[in-house]
Each structure stands twice: as structure tokens, then as C-alpha cells.
Structure 1
Amino acid sequence: MKPTLQLRLGQSLTLTPQLRQAIRLLQLSSMELELEINQALESNPLLERPEDSDYEAEAERNDDSQNEPEPVEHSESEEFEASETQYEDLAPDWELSPGGSGSGSGEDGERPELGSPETETLHDHLLWQLNLTPMNERDRQIAVTLIDAIDDDGYLRAELAELIEAISPAFKANEAEIETVRHRLQHFDPIGVASRTLAECLQVQLNALPTDTDGRALALRLAHEALETLAKLGPERLAESWKVESQAMSVAVDLLRSLDPRPGAQVAPTSVEYVVPDAFAFRHQGRWEVRLGPGSTPRLGINRHYQGLIASASRQDANYMRGQLQEAKWLIRSLETRADTLLKVAGCIVRHQAGFLDRGPEAMRPLVLREVAEEVGLHESTVSRVTTRKYLHTPRGTFEFKHFFSSGVPTSDGGAASSTAIQAMIRRLVDAEDPRSPLSDAKLTTELKAMGVTVARRTVAKYREAMNIPASNERQRIG
């Protein structure tokens, strides 16, 4: 049988080096982009930043123009009139601000450090104390294992069997030995670490107080027997039940409140992550507009001196320099494309979410990537890259672009409310609730329905959990 020859027509997409570079630059954060540019400057002699004097002059002009930003859509002939105070929150101090917040520069006008400085962890702090504590090697090995198992709040969550197994390569420890060492650790600083429960943690702290401390004895009884009952009944009803004077119960409850339920957090506070805004939203002549931040529009140029040497260079050197020149032009063009795309997407987001900028989270409207992609003429995947790790500074704080996207939930008037707006409504209802009788998920659902937002109870529960709001029985407060 003779072989047959078949011809097939098909289409395939081949990514050119230039397109790959443009896509890669698009998904970089401002910090990563700066590193990428620095590496390119070091490796490519045909690429340069403007002369230092020109760069400093331009920087001064940029600083001066922070109070008069260029709008997204603004004709060259139109006169830009704005008072300086309108844009004072776009001053250079805002170039670095904590993610998701509107805080500005550090003390004395200094800009905060990028990243987080190295700080002592809870484990480091406990190990340091362990090294200063007289203890035999067997107990010391147990203590190290326990410290490794303590979480950031200061609690020991690991089961006894897990601890025994962790120690077993060195020797076989028993429960009595482990508990003895654990009780010693509980009196390290911060006192109460290595406790297994809240009640135990509070008791350790109470036992460390002088015996004549007002309310100590009753507070110990409360911590040991009735923390949940106290939360449900409140001090007055529990005082009646225990036949204790209300004043004595009040003193004991105040003493409990003065204790630290999360002792580990004293040593290992949550670090603040700093971000560089890629764009700034501001109001101009009654409408919200956008300008890019300095980090999103890096200034690069071609080194004219090296470019002029190409004609007189040897063939090998000339080929190398032509290749470097082409790469430099590709990078500059890719950076311009990146900046243009950022500006389009940021402008589109601001136009859609003007209600949020004017009135806050409850006015956030539903917005999906597809809407923005269709409006700015880009592919959804491109918009996804642009909105990842890119930040928009607004008068309400600095937010990742993705913060402004959320699905819609039907409302009673036939419209839709964004999940972000619904979460803001839930937060407001919870903040305003009676702490003695907090709102259940069912009651929150009813309240939202009265506000014109119809959602299922399980949806309310999902949003509440996403915001780290405890259930109603856990939110019930003492007193």
C-alpha cells in the first residue's frame, strides 16, 4: 500500500520575544519592575537613564506636579485649574503607603522602609530565655520541642502523641515530663505561653499576680469554671446565680479583661507590608480621574554615544551592539505599552467605581474582568495580569486593583449589589449590634433584605467568615 500525502491548513499563535517581554513586564509589580530595569541597565550598554541633572530636574517637576496630576482624558488646550489643597494627598509622601490603607509617610516626613525589617519572633524570644534558664539536657530538649510547637498567639495546639513522637529520635519522654517542662514555659515572658486553652492561659496570668490583688480569687473561679457562662449571662445575672455581690463580680470581670488572651502576639506583632501605588485617583472638575505613579513610568533612553560607535566598530562588535540596541528599543516600547495599559485599566476601574470613591464600600458596584476587557479593548487575561499586584491610591486608602472587582447579587429593585458592598453592610450591622444580643446569620439576612439586598443565609455566613467575624454566640461580650 502506497503512503498518501496529506496537506492540512491550521492556525497557531507564536509568541515573539517582544511579545513575551511585554507580557512578562505587564505582570510585574512596581518593585519587581524596578529590579528588572536595573538588571537591564547593568547588562545593556545601549540602555541608560537620563543624565543625573536632567533626572533630578524632572523629579522636581514631578514632585511639583503631584498637586496637579494629569487626567486620564484631558485635551492639551484645556486649562488645568485646581487648588493645591485639592491634591495634597497626592504629595510625594504618599508614594509609599501600607497596602489596603490610607496611611502616609513615616515620622518626621520620612518615607517608610520598603519591606519589613527583621524582628525577633516569639520562638526566638522563648529560646533566648531557655538558654538563660538552668535545666538538664533532657528537659531542655523537651522545652525546645514544645517551643517549636507553640503558635504565634502563644498557644500549644499539638497533641501529646505528636510531641512524644517529635522528641522520640533523642529519647522517649513521658507525659509527666512534658507537662512539667510545659508548666515551666508558661512562666516565661510573655506569661501564659504554652497554655492549651484560654481558661488555662488566664489562670496562669492570674496566679502570677499578688495574692492580695482585688478580685483575683473570684476571677480565678470564673476562668476555671464559667468563661462561657459569663459570656452568655453577663456579670449581673451570673452574680445573682452565684450569690455574689455585683460589685465584687464587676471587679473580677475587670481583672479578667485586663489579661492578655493572646500573649504570643506581644512578641510577634503582625508586620505591615508597604506597597508603591501604581496609579493615583483624584477628583478634577467634578469627576474622578487617574494619573500613573512615577514607578509605573520609568524613564529610559538610548545611549547615543554607544549608538554612534556602531558604524565604526568591527563586524563582530557591530553585530553585538545592534542586538543590544534592538533589545533596548524593545524594552522601552514594552514599558510604554505597560504604562498605557495600566492607565487604561485604572481609568476604567475609577469610572465604574466612582460611587465607592464618593460614598465608601457600600456603594461598590459589581465589576468583572470581562467588562473592563471589553471597554478598554484588551483580552481578559491581559486585564487579569494588569490587576494583579498593582495598587491604586485613593482618598479612601490604597487598594490592589483586584479589590474593585466582585460578583453581583440581585437586589429587590431588580439591580445588583457587589459582594464587597454586601460585606460592608454586614460589617456595619455587626458594629452597631447590641453586644449582649448579637445578630445571628438569619437576623443579618433579614436586615439585608430590609435594605433591599436579597441573599441566602449561607451566603451571609460565607461573607461573615471571609471577614473573620465570629459567629453570634462567639461575639457575645461580657457585660
Structure 2
Amino acid sequence: MSLAPRLDLRQSQSLVMTPQLRQAIKLLQSSNLEVAAFVEEELERNPLLERDERALPGPDDGHRVDPLPAVPEATDSHAAAVSDSLPGEAAGPLDAEWDNVYDAGGGYESPYGRGGRADFAEDLSGVEDIAAAGRSLREHLGEQVRLAFPDARDRLIAAQMLALVDAAGRLTVEDARIAAALGCEEAAVAAVRRRMQRFDPVGMFCRNLAECLAVQLAEKNRLDPAMQALLDHLDLVARRDRAGLIAACRVDSDDISDMIAEIKRLDPKPGASFDQVPAPALVPDVLMRRAPDGGWLLELNPETLPRVLVNRGFHARCQVGTRNRDDRAFLAEKLQSANWLLKSLEQRANTILKVAGEIVRRQDGFFRHGVGHLRPLILRDVAEEVQMHESTVSRVTANKYIATPRGTFELKYFFTTAIAGTMGGESHSAEAVRHRIKAMIEAEDPEAVLSDDAIVERLRQEGVDIARRTVAKYREALRIPSSVQRKREKAVPA
């Protein structure tokens, strides 16, 4: 065996994750908001990219909206070679001219009336029509602190409590800890807390739910010994244990019903009505509507598609006037990056539309008849049909939504596991079975509450072979209590 060095030539194949491939994968699994933010960053980084501001075709234009903007004609041979696979330029007017641009911040005070309208139109909407921003919880409480505590020491204690209160209005820190942190007496902290508990909204700065409800009842002069006993046994209220409540409060059944109804009218989280951030609007990626022949039409939502193009004229002018090698390399890198971005966006749009079309084809019964006709579907089924890898289908369906006649759904909603049918019959979707369990429980007789075993028997009569533990798991996922708890709840008047 020779130990001398030698030179061998070997050939092998390997998958290299280039930056362009990583970018395409990242865009594929990102939501439309994340893609829009990424494109905005690229517009700031890349001087060859610019936003396409041409007007989108309307619904009456007679043709489908192009999912990606057209790329202008190349001005040199190198640019033409790079953009062979990109679509050509589509003629279309700009959506605004320079003499028809409204400057939101440049309004002036008209001597002929308010509103600052240069065309003297009748629309005189002014600043008073703009909705005022809501006050935060701490601003609302801070005003009451300044009015309620003239003493500087009390205001300092109140400010410390105001800084520690959570969004629900709870202050779980003990008075002793606050007193030790501020170097004052615990009795002074307790006095300030008691006074702040009567601030608007009533029930703030309490340690727990029972104390919060007790403060609200005391404000209404309804905190009697029986009600205090009820607050001391809130665990029995949660379990609907009427017998235990009657024994603890020493009242009859009618009084217990009235006391529970009064507690339900109180606010368990008095601070939650402030600082509410509105949920962002959900913009679907795919729009679906019924076709004239009874089928379905799918198109990408033009509002979620980034509209960018490569300014090849600017690239050509810079390349002609640049002789520095580093500058030319910079331009070539930015041009390649811009082209890759456009190709990645185009591939992302086509892949989403292809996968969504296959999902709609397989779940046609759901869109026509409801969730009871949702079919079992896994990623492999769609991947084999569209000739993609399962991981690609998983990325496509993540954070993507489709607007259908039955509502807006995430694409992953339509992938459910299969539950076998009895006697070798057709399998059923797990989501459809969960919907059926929920419908059974909602329609059950209060005098004959269905147990998990009874639900299993009914489902097997309908052709669903399911185990009792699976029914219990689905019921808990739907946040439906057990049959014993439901019997207690339905025995308590609303």
C-alpha cells in the first residue's frame, strides 16, 4: 500500500443553497405582509428597482390581472440576456400625473372659508371630523391620581402602583414589598390602594378576582355576608356546584341564582377596556368565486402582489458612464439581484395559485355543502398532483389565506387527517368529525346529556370508526366540558 500523495478526479452531485435559492424559499413561506416589507427593503437597497405605479386593470377590463408587473425593454445586450424569461412590457397609463397629485401636508388656510380647498368644493371636512385618539389606561388613571392625592407622598405611592398595574387592572404585588421599595409605612400603601380601587373603572389595583368583584359589589352597596361567602367559593361557581354554594352561603336556590346572575354582570377585568389595539385586517392571497358554468374561478389578489420592476434604462446609462471595475461589478450584482427578486416573486405567485387550485378541486364538496363534506387531505396528495415536494407545499400553505363564498380560510385548514369508516367504508376528515361532535353536543337534550361513549355510538352508527379517547381529545380541543360539567351548567338558569 503506497503512502505517496496522488491527484484524483472525482465527480459528484450536491445541492448548494445559494443566496438566491434561500431568498426564493424565504419568500415562498412568508405572508403577504412579510413579502411587502421585504420588497420595501429591497427598493431602498437596490437602485435599479422601482415601484410600478401603473393602474391595475379593473374588473370590467375583460382580461385577468397580471400577477407580476411587466419589465421594460432591455437597453443593452447583457440586460437582454438576463431577462429572457421575464414577461414583456404591457402598455398602460400611469394612475396619476404630476399635475394631479394631492399633497396631504400642504393644505393652506383659505380666506374664503375653512377647509383649504383650492377648487371651492362643498366638501368642507376639517380636523374636527378626524376621530380623536383614545386615552390609555395609565393616562386615564393618572388624571385621577393628580386630583385625588394632594399629598406628595401619596402621589408617589400611587405612581408606583400605576407603574405596576397590568393591562387587566390587577396589582398582585403585596403592600409590604411596595412599602419596602419606597421606604414608607405599609399602612400608607394599603390606604392608597383602597382609595385607588374606587377609581374609574371600579375594581382596579386588586390582587385577585375575588377582591376585584368585592370592590365592585361594595361600590353598589351589595357586599353582604352571603355575597362575601359566594366570592370566597368562586371555585364552586366555576364547577356549577349549586349544592355546595347553598351550603356555603346559607341561602336557598333562588337566592343563589340571583347572586350568580349579579356576579356575571360585573367586570372581571376592568382595565381590559383600555389600550385595545385593533386587530389587523386579514387580506387574502387568493380570491375565489363561482364561474358561470358552475365551477370555481381562482385569481391572485392584486392588492397583495408586490409591484416592482427593473429600471434598465437607468442601468444602461450608469454602465455607459462608468469605467471603474468596482462600479461595474456593483451594477452587475444589483441587476442580478433585481432579476432574481422578480423571478422569485413570479414563481411564488404561480406556485400559490397552482396549489390553491388543487386544494379547491379536492375540497369541492366543502365549498358547495359545508364542513361536513370536508375530505381527508394530506400534503403528499397535493404534492404528487402538482409535482412538487411536500416541503414546498407546506411552505406555500403557511400564512396564506383564500377568500371563498364560505369565508376566508388559511390554506392549511383544508389539510386534515383521515378517520377510518366502519366496515371498510369511506374515511372521514378529522375536522368534519369535530364539527359533527360539536353539533351533537349543541343539540343534546338538557335532561339527557351525551357522554363520550354515547357520542362514539352515534358516530359509529353514522359510519365513523372512532375511539372514545379520540372523542375526548376532540371535545377538549373544542373547549367543550365533560358531560358531568355540562349537566351542571344546564341545570343553572342563564
**TM-score over 0.5 (shorter chain):** yes
Kindly provide the amino acid, as one letter, of the partner of residue 30 in structure 2.
L
Offset from partner CA, 1:242-270 (integer Å, 9 cap, x none): 67595x66655543443234434333557
The structure 2 residue matched to 1:202, chosen from 202, 213, 219, is 213
Which of 42, 67, 76 is matched with 1:40 structurally? 42
Residues 227 and 131 from structure 1, CA distance in 2 versus in 1: closer, same or farther, beyond 3 angstroms? same
Match of 2:28 in 1: 26
The 1:367/1:141 distance shift into structure 2, 3 A limit, reads farther
Q: Is the 8 A contact 1:48 1:302 kept in 2?
A: yes
How far residue 209 of structure 1 moved from its aligned partner, in angstroms, is 1.1
Cα deviation 1:137-192 (Å, max 9, x = unaligned): 88777767766776655456x586xx866876555987x77766654454333323
CA 342–417 in structure 1, closer or farther in 2 if over 3 Å, else same = same
Secondary structure at the aligned position of 2:200 is classed as: coil
Structure 2 contact 149–155 (Cα < 8 Å) conserved: no
Moved more, 199-208 or 429-438: 429-438
Give the SS at the match of 1:362.
helix
Would the aligned equivalents of 1:203 and 1:223 in 2 still touch at CA under 8 Å?
no
Q: Of 238, 261, 267, which aligns to 2:274?
A: 267
Partner of 1:280: 287
1:390 to 380, 394, 400: 400
Structure 2, unaligned stretches of length 5 or more?
68-131
Amino acid at match of 1:313: G
Tell me by how many angstroms 1:11 deviates. 3.1
C-alpha deviation, 1:335, in angstroms = 1.3
Deviation at 1:338, TM superposition (A): 0.9
Deviation string, structure 1 residues 94-126 (Cα, Å, up to 9, x no partner): xxxxxxxxxxxxxxxxxxxxxxx9976656655
1:295-314 alignment, distance < 5 Å = 295-309=303-317, 312-314=320-322
Cα separation, partners in 2 of 1:268 and 1:321, compared to 1, 3 Å: closer
1:345 equivalent in structure 2: 355
Going from structure 1 to structure 2, the CA distance change for 1:135 and 1:349 (only over 3 Å counts) comes to: farther
Mark the CA change 1:456 to 1:210 in structure 2 (over 3 Å): closer, same or farther. same
Distance 1:264 1:409, change over 3 A: farther
Check whether the contact 1:187–1:193 (CA below 8 A) recurs between aligned residues.
Answer: yes
Match of 2:230 among 223, 227, 246: 223
- Rounded Cα–Cα distance in structure 1 between residues aligned with 2:236 and 2:160: 35
Q: Deviations over 1:404-438 (max 9, x none)?
A: 22222223254333332233223323433456775
1:25-57 CA-partner distances (Å, limit 9, x unpaired): 21222122222223333333333344x4xx12x
Distance 1:21 1:198, change over 3 A: closer
Residues 154 and 195, structure 1, Cα contact 8 Å, conserved in 2: yes
How far residue 458 of structure 1 moved from its aligned partner, in angstroms, is 3.2
Contact 1:219 1:256 (8 Å CA) reproduced: no
Alpha-carbon distance, 1:278 to partner: 0.8
Seen in structure 2, the aligned counterparts of structure 1 residues 145 and 2 have a Cα distance that, compared at 3 Å, is farther
- Give the Cα–Cα distance (whole angstroms) in 2 for the partners of residues 152 and 462 of structure 1: 33
Q: Does the C-alpha gap of structure 1 residues 173 and 301 become closer, same or farther in structure 2, counting only changes over 3 Å?
A: same
Aligned pairs for 1:453-472 within 5 A: 453-472=464-483
Instruction: Tell me which residue corresponds to 1:328.
Output: 338
**In structure 2, what is the Cα distance between the partners aligned to 1:268 and 1:405?**
37
Classify the secondary structure of the residue corresponding to 2:320.
Answer: coil
Residue 419 of structure 1, aligned match among 427, 430, 441: 430
Give the whole-Å Cα distance in 1 for the aligned partners of 2:173 and 2:470. 34
Name 1:360's counterpart in structure 2: 370
Matches within 5 A, 1:404-415: 404-412=414-422, 414=424, 415=426
Task: Go from structure 1 to structure 2 and tell me whether the alpha carbon gap of 1:298 and 1:62 turns closer, same or farther (over 3 Å shift).
Answer: farther
Q: Could you tell me which of 149, 152, 160 is aligned with 1:134?
A: 149
Q: Which has the larger radius of gyration?
A: 2
Deviation at 1:222, TM superposition (A): 7.0
Match of 1:13 in 2: 15
TM-score (norm 2): 0.68
Aligned AA (1:422): V
Q: Which amino acid aligns with 1:378?
A: M
In 1, the alpha carbon distance for the partners of 2:381 and 2:41 equals: 36
Root mean square deviation of aligned Cα: 4.3
Secondary structure, counterpart of 2:422 in structure 1: coil
SS for the counterpart of 1:290 is strand
Distance in 2 separating the partners of 1:3 and 1:420: 67
Give the fraction of aligned pairs with identical amino acids, expressed as a percent.
Answer: 39
User: How many residues get paired?
Assistant: 417
